[in-house]
Amino acid sequence: MRVAVITGASSGIGQSAAVHIARRDTGVILTFRGNPAGARDTVATIEKEGGTAVALPLDLGQSTSFPTFRDALTATLRSTWQRDDFDFLVNNAGASGSAPFPETTEAMFDDLQRVLLKGPYFLTQALLPLLADGGAIVNVASNSASFSGLEPGYSAYGSLKGALVVLTRYLAKELSPRGIRVNAVSPGSTRTRIADDAFERYPEVIPALAAKTALGRVGEPDDIGAVIATLLTPDCAWVTAQDIEVSGGYNI
């Protein structure tokens, strides 16, 4: 059985991606930080549908913890799937934060970059020896790094997500001798728990976002999770180094 590692899969896009990937006869190792109950829900959903999943804790903002996580991952692969490697990595775990450019502090920038760029960069590096040849990586970026999603207040967040897209291209180039494909997915406005459940706390913003979206609504986690899962399949075996916007036509 193929095995995927998905960071930040206790809710939202990561949870949806984990379920969609598991439906494609793939075992799932998912990570969580502050939402263990959500991680258990993800595992339970996958197991209810006949799949296999294991949840492991990981703080993506603490790169010093990556060797310990790699050891836990290795042990889980051996005990659950009798394997020493895995096939797919989805760098999904994220963080949010916004402020006008003149008010963006160095501390805020550093907090974001530890999770949005440094974390995926060095976690991928740490896990690369365990990633099987012919595998695939998907990095979850954001349309805030493209023209369609430019909104005031997201200069730090958008810049770091843009850097993740550039990293995607470099990884696609450098890992191609091993047959490893690397792509990015850039969601638009999506109903998730990010920013402390912002859509739940401020539902009045949803109609305005929907009005700016060609397909007339905000995104749902399954809109993104299904695309992530599809990118890992043989149907996309000739796709690498791409950033695919999944926004319902935001601002077109």
3-state secondary structure of 2: strand
Tokens representing residue 193 in the block: 């728990």
Q: If we measure between CA atoms, which residue out of 249, 237, 211, 232 comes closest to residue 21?
A: 232
3-state secondary structure of 216: coil
Q: If we measure between CA atoms, which residue out of 3, 67, 4, 69 comes closest to residue 33?
A: 69
Number of neighbouring beta carbons within 10 Å of residue 44: 11
C-alpha distances out from residue 38 to 5, 32, 45, 126, 191, Å: 16, 8, 11, 26, 16
Instruction: Tell me which residues are annotated as active site.
Output: 157
Give the span between the Cα atoms of 199 and 192, in whole angstroms.
Answer: 8
3-state helix, strand, coil split of the chain in percent (to 5) is: 50, 20, 30
Map tokens 């095995």 to a residue.
3
Map tokens 């990595």 to a residue.
89
